[in-house]
A and B are shown apart, each in its own frame.
Chain A
Amino acid sequence: MSGLLRICTAGSVDDGKSTLIGRLLYDSRAVYEDQVTSVEKASRNRTAGPIDFSLFTDGLKAEREQGITIDVAYRYFATSARTFILADTPGHEQYTRNMATGASTADVAVLLVDARHGVRVQSRRHARIARLLGIRHFVVAVNKMDLVDFDRGVFETISDDFTELLHGTTIHPIPLSALHGDNVITRSERTPWFDERCLLQFLETVDVDRAPADKPFRFPVQLVIRPNDGFRGYAGQIVSGTVRPGDVVTAWPSGRSAHVTRLVTWDGDLDVAHAPMSMTLTLDADVDISRGDVLAAGPAHIGRRFAAEVVWMDERPLDPSRVYLLKFGARTVTAEVDRGLFLNQIAAVTVTTAQPVVFDRYADNRSTGSFILIDPATNFTAGAGMIADPLGEAPVHVEYPSAAERLARLARAAPSDGDAVEAVRRALEEILI
């Protein structure tokens, strides 16, 4: 297994998440000396003790001024056992989208909870998002244990609550104090009743079963490389599986098959390539393949309709009468969603794309089962989706009003004639893009 572990952290405001990360970086010596100096200097201008660990992670001025984390921050540290990429995500509800962002690439989630408060609304929400985004390993970090006198009963009640909340996943609860360092890097003497691994030990040793190389071969084509008439190669990153020269692969959505002839890299041709390698492959047949097509071995789903869980991340609500851009692998298509959603809302929806796409269930493949929705008017990444199931084609009259009907609805819904003209103008532009 890879020496790289991706972690995301989550918790409510004031659970001490940034403090825990700062402590982890500081104690594992991943914070540089001049950063310590500048943080000590900045700490003096505020009221928190000698070193305010949260200042190592709160990178923006507004965050330091307000004492909260607004945006996801990525931190890097390594021990002799492993290299870590840590996404520190904000606890405020309005920044839930950043939680989803951090969780999308993580193998392990560290859920912070204040020992005095136990499971709160935000904890449930974060646990749900992390789980939805495919995380299967959780650390329940019961923080501020010093404020409940390291009471075993408190810890066990909270652990049980999370076990119920996260059933079906692997859970490792740890009683700790981020501020004082208990059970962060080393086991604390103040919790003699706790004989499990402390936080860093757990992260160093947890066995995450990613194994994308064992799954069916999937290769979204990013670019066609044609430096001269004699060479036509398909460049991309293998998102799952393994490929060798001689293998038969099928190009979707055309459905035509060919043999792989070469696996080309700058360092020389390869005999075998596997996820997550980037390379360029060539085929023995002149199949018409362009950016966005997927080369695959093994069965995949192909279609224009699927059920998905969508996290909405835009202040502008999801409007089922509008058309969105759906980016999926290296392909962008237009798509419609059957129901509205507000910022931070998560729900099961039905997505219909204008052109057929090839996909897997998210539970089977995090790369070919995920997509983003882009608002064509603002270009904002407005939604993130995880495919649950393929669906058959729907009768047209039920799901989709005609373009003319949609324009008429927009005009009727506008508060004034000027707004109506503007809304129709924008909608037409979106249709014509």
Chain B
Amino acid sequence: MPLDHLRALEAESLHILREVVAEFERPVMLYSIGKDSSVMLRLAQKAFFPGPIPFPLLHVDTTYKFREMIEFRDRCTAGAGVRLIVHANEEAIADGTQPFLVGTQRCCGLLKTRALLDALQAGGFDAAFGGARRDEERSRAKERIFSLRDSKGQWDPKRQRPELWNLLNGRVGPGESIRVFPLSNWTEIDVWRYIDAEHIPIVPLYFAKEREVIVRGDALLIPEQGFVPCLPGERPQRVRCRMRSLGCSPCTGAVRSTADTVPKIIEELIASRHSERQLRVIDHDQDGSMELKKREGYF
């Protein structure tokens, strides 16, 4: 009796979620509103059924997310009956931190990494679930399912613990914590196929429709924030497009697409050979930039 490969991945993820709840005092699930978070939320519902999800969700809000994302977040988490914590680095935002003024690296550092570390510390969380997958980026291909972080939330690739079979070592020292990646072995296509099979709701930005965008080279920018400037000669145009990956609106581009249903998105992905994070400016700032960010405490 074989188990189809999506069900095998699901079973493994449920095992991981339960191990964390059994072995840690205060777990939390990072909720970024994207498709991977939607899948994680569904897996959390399944893992503890018929009980409720035994941990809160945490959204680190840079305040530059798309409006549709925030609406979706509030609707979905209320529907799942789970507690949502929203944390923003108010101080940096009040200081005017935004990508075009301070650069994407510093902006991410303050509004994502710093805010995340502060929120984890404020909540006293000793384990944080993240939706990262090993197929996303090459330093993530080396990540463990239980990723040990020091008291500053930082990752040391040379101090990683061996992970054999399905035996996860949940022992941490004082001040240390773990990041947990239940979707480690999923690929982008697996995530979409699961969303399709399970009818999981996702943010409408993933579906193609005509949107007002600034066309800049290959990038399509949706000018949601007042500070995203049109360069000389540019003006917003209406283009049929969708988002492959959801981040902050100034730094996440849309792609031209006509895929307006999940099966059409899957078809488009199979036909295309561009990796999803390519549209995120932050990973490409410099060679090995994701590894650097992870060392500093990012997911």
A→B interface (CB under 8 Å): 1-4, 29, 32-35, 38, 42, 56-62, 64, 70-76, 78, 83, 85, 97-98, 100-101, 104-105, 213, 222-223, 225-227, 231, 233, 235-237, 242, 264-267, 274, 276-278, 280, 291, 313, 325, 327-328, 330, 366-367, 370-372, 374, 376, 379-381, 384
Interface centre among B162, B169, B273 (most CB of A within 10 A): B162
Within 8 A of A (CB), among B275-293: 275, 278, 284, 287-288, 291
Q: Are A381 and B161 in contact (CB under 8 A)?
A: yes
In this assembly, does B231 line the interface, its C-beta being within 8 Å of a C-beta of chain A? no
**Contacting B22 at CB < 8 Å: which of A61, A78, A223?**
A223
User: B10 within 8 Å of A by Cβ?
Assistant: yes
Contact present for A276 and B12 (CB under 8 Å): yes
Stretch at the interface among B30-38, B42-50, B96-104: B42-50
Q: Are B22 and A291 in contact (CB under 8 A)?
A: yes
CB–CB A73/B162 < 8 A: no
Stretch from B87-95, B107-115, B132-140, B201-209 contacting the other chain: B132-140
Roughly how many angstroms separate A264 CA and B291 CA in the complex, as a whole number?
41
Assess whether A278 is in contact with B162, with CB atoms less than 8 Å apart.
no
Residues in B lying within 8 Å of A, measured CB to CB: 1-5, 7-8, 10-12, 14-15, 18-19, 21-22, 45-52, 134-135, 137-142, 157-158, 160-167, 169, 171-173, 184-185, 187, 189, 273-275, 278, 284, 287-288, 291
For A42, the chain B residues whose CB sits under 8 A away are 287
**Distance in Å: Cβ of A118 to nearest Cβ of chain B:** 29
Instruction: Name the contact of B164 in the complex, choosing from A34, A58, A101, A280 (C-beta under 8 A).
Output: A101
B166 proximity list for chain A (CB < 8 A): 105, 237, 367
Inter-subunit contact B49/A3 (CB<8 Å): no
Chain B residues within 8 Å of A85, by CB: 185
Cβ contacts under 8 Å, B22 to chain A = 222-223, 291, 330
Closest Cβ–Cβ distance, residue B136 to chain A (whole Å):
10
Return chain A residues, CB-CB under 8 Å to B4.
2-3
Name the residue among A85, A98, A325 with the largest chain B CB count within 10 angstroms: A85
Chain B residues near A101 (CB-CB < 8 A): 162-164
A32 touching B164 by the CB < 8 A rule? Answer: no
- Residue contact B164 to A384, C-beta cutoff 8 Å: yes
Residues of B within 8 A of A4 (CB): 5, 8
- On chain B, the residues within 8 Å of A78 by CB distance are 187, 189
User: CA–CA, A85 to B12, complex, Å?
Assistant: 14
Q: How far is the CB of A126 from chain B (nearest CB, A)?
A: 16
10 additional contacts (CB under 8 A) given A2-B8, A227-B51, A277-B3: A2-B4, A29-B273, A35-B138, A61-B287, A101-B164, A105-B165, A223-B21, A265-B49, A379-B173, A384-B164
Contacting pair B134 A76 (CB below 8 A)? yes
In the assembly, what is the distance between CA of A101 and CA of B142, in Å? 12
